[in-house]
Structure 1
Amino acid sequence: MKPDRKSKLYVHLLFWILYYILEVYLDFYWSRYQFPATEWQTRLQNTIVLELGYLLIKMPLAYALLYVYETTGIKKFLTYILYCFIIVAAVLTHRFFTHYIIYPHIYGVTETLDGKQPSGFINGLVAFNSFMDLIFMAGLIFGVEITRQKNLLKEQISLLKSEKLDQELTMLKAQINPHFLFNTLNNIYGMALKKADETPDVILQLSKVMRYNIYEAAERYISIDKDVENIKDFLQIQQIRHHDLVIRFKEDIDQPSQEISPLILIQFVENAFKHGVSETLGQSFIHIDMKLNNGVLHYHIENSKEEKPHGNSTKIGLKNIRRQLELLYPKHSLTAESTNDRYIVNLIIDFNDSSRF
């Protein structure tokens, strides 16, 4: 059975059970005053039987209404006409059941109006009461089904949005990994030509970083301590490449198991090297301060840059980061400042914010 049909079956079954119990309770309570001499066991048995009979009349009317609602085009007009006939038939059946079966055979009395005069099979007041009883019940099941369909539609839309965001994030991450890999391989190639002693160390650190990027970063979320370890491996590679680089990394994390989307934080570091440190002619530096306290992350990066940098930076990497943050943490705070000799980035993420998907 399809999930939609299964959901519909469970919801409608629960509705009819609760509706039937409610009707039995109301009629049993009413019979206390109409037939006080009858024992309660008998009244309860009578109520159970008569409400079952009413239920068999009401259910076809209810689902006929749902069928009319779901029909479109010229067929819908014809079903409206058919439904009017169904309502008339349901009212007549309701009256027949009440007048000729319920009162004489179950209650053992003649149906009356306010206990004074006999009530005929076709009587304006009692027919109107039957009509209102049937329409009220049909409206209830109609409302239940429409609510169920709307909730199902919301779930489907939410699922589609989540899948779309997953695809977009995967594409954004794919734009980062090759860039880092190609740049590092180019540097290793240059070091190998010079037969630098640090070449094996760089290759080892690169293998750790790439293992993280390929396997760990495939997850939607990962513990922040693993993400920090990846940043440190990346910085070690850069430290070997840039002998004059001054690195300061401070971390204060009160919950290492806090989950975060992988490759978010390191992109700021990559951007610092791409558009700052690697362009600095003199001594370069990068200062990173990371603090996680009570589910709120404060991430601060400062890095050196030339007063008049060579070339024209496209800052595509920063646009990429901003887009990922918008998707993952809509209520984040990100500021980027450029002075004569440095770039400054401040990021705040509140992991307590439940709006992230």
Structure 2
Amino acid sequence: MKPDHKSKLHIHLLFWILYYMLEVYLDFYWSRYQFPDFKWQLRLQNSLLLELGYLMVKIPLAYSLLYVYERVHLNKALKYLLSILIFILAVLAHRFFTHYVIYSHIYGITETLDGKQPSGFINGLVAFNSFMDLIFMVGLVFGVEITRQKNVLKEQISQLKSEKLDQELTMLKAQINPHFLFNTLNNIYGMALKKADETPDVILQLSKIMRYNIYEAAEKNISIEKDLENIKDFIQIQRIRHHHLNVRFQENIDNPSQEISPLILIQFVENAFKHGVSESLGDAFIIIDIELKNGILSYYIENSKEERPHQHSTKIGLRNIRRQLELLYPKHSLNVEDKTDRYIVQLKIDFHDTSSL
């Protein structure tokens, strides 16, 4: 049985139990005045029996109308006509049960109007009472079913939105990984042209990073400890190439197992190396400070900057990372300062306000 059908069965079963209890209570309360000579035990027994009998009329009526409403493919006029016909048959069945079973066999008396004259099987006043009893029940059933369907629709819409966000995040990561690989291979290419002795070490380090990108980064979340380890591997590659570079990396993490979406933090580091470090800068520097305290992440990156930035540099990394932050951490704060001689990024994430992780 599908989860939706299971949920529908449970809701409808609960509805009929509660409805039956309500009707028994109302009939039991009403019988105090209609049959004052009956003992309460007898009145309760009668109420339980007659309301159980009424359910034999009401349940088929309710689901027949629901079937017409949901499944029968007719124009509105024919649907209304068929619903009215079903309802008239239910009123007749209700009257038959009331007149020939309840009063004759359960109460052992003749049904009367106001206690004065006998009531026939078809009578305007008593037929109206049957109509009102059934219409009240139908209204409740349709109210419960429409509310249930709306809730199911909301859940489906929410699930579709979640799936759409997951697909978008997957595409963003797919854009980021080749972007990162392209930049690192450019570095290795430059070292290979110079026949640098460190080239094999850099390739080995790159292999470790790509293993992380392929396997670890495929997860929705990862521990911040593993994510920082990947950043350190990346910095190590860059240090081998840029001997003159002054890199300061400081971390203060009070909860290494705190989960974070992978490949977010490293993008800022990658941009710092790509756009802020050049062989022509003898005093190039990068400062990276990251702190996680009581569920709040503070991330600070500052790097030196060329006066003439690369003409072919793209902003795909920053655009993607902004979008990921919007999707995963709606209450984050990101401040980017593009100064003449340096570039500063300040990111703050409150993991307490994050429901998607």
Q: Name the aligned partner's letter for residue 223 of structure 1.
A: S
Which shows bigger deviation, 195-204 or 242-251? 195-204
Q: Write the mapping of 1:1-357 to structure 2, written as runs, cut at 5 A.
A: 1-70=1-70, 74-278=74-278, 281-356=281-356
Tell me if the contact between 2:337 and 2:345 (Cα under 8 Å) persists in the aligned partners: yes
Gaps of 5+ in 2: none
Deviation of the 1:137 alpha carbon: 0.8
Q: Encode CA deviations 1:155-214: one digit per residue, 9 max, x unaligned.
A: 111222222211211111111212222332343344345443333432332222112111
Tell me if the contact between 2:65 and 2:86 (Cα under 8 Å) persists in the aligned partners: no
Name the Cα RMSD after superposition. Answer: 2.3
Q: In structure 2, how many angstroms separate the alpha carbons of the residues matched to 1:143 and 1:99?
A: 30
- TM-score normalised over the length of structure 1: 0.91
Tell me if the contact between 2:179 and 2:317 (Cα under 8 Å) persists in the aligned partners: no
Deviation of the 1:40 alpha carbon: 4.1
Deviation of the 1:279 alpha carbon: 7.2
Tell me if the contact between 2:329 and 2:354 (Cα under 8 Å) persists in the aligned partners: no
Cα 1:72/1:318, change in 2 over 3 Å: farther
Deviation of the 1:54 alpha carbon: 0.5
SS, match of residue 303 in structure 2? strand
Q: Encode CA deviations 1:262-313: one digit per residue, 9 max, x unaligned.
A: 0011111111122222476332111112122222212111111112324253
SS, match of residue 352 in structure 2? coil
SS, match of residue 9 in structure 2? helix
Deviation of the 1:222 alpha carbon: 0.9
Tell me if the contact between 1:290 and 1:297 (Cα under 8 Å) persists in the aligned partners: yes
Gaps of 5+ in 1: none
Q: In structure 2, how many angstroms separate the alpha carbons of the residues matched to 1:122 and 1:177?
A: 79
Q: In structure 2, how many angstroms separate the alpha carbons of the residues matched to 1:279 and 1:174?
A: 30
Q: In structure 1, how many angstroms separate the alpha carbons of the residues matched to 2:197 and 2:31?
A: 98
Deviation of the 1:58 alpha carbon: 1.0
Cα 1:100/1:3, change in 2 over 3 Å: same
Q: In structure 2, how many angstroms separate the alpha carbons of the residues matched to 1:218 and 1:44?
A: 64
Q: Name the aligned partner's letter for residue 223 of structure 2.
A: S
Which shows bigger deviation, 311-320 or 265-274? 311-320
SS, match of residue 352 in structure 1? helix
Aligned length: 357
Tell me if the contact between 2:302 and 2:345 (Cα under 8 Å) persists in the aligned partners: yes
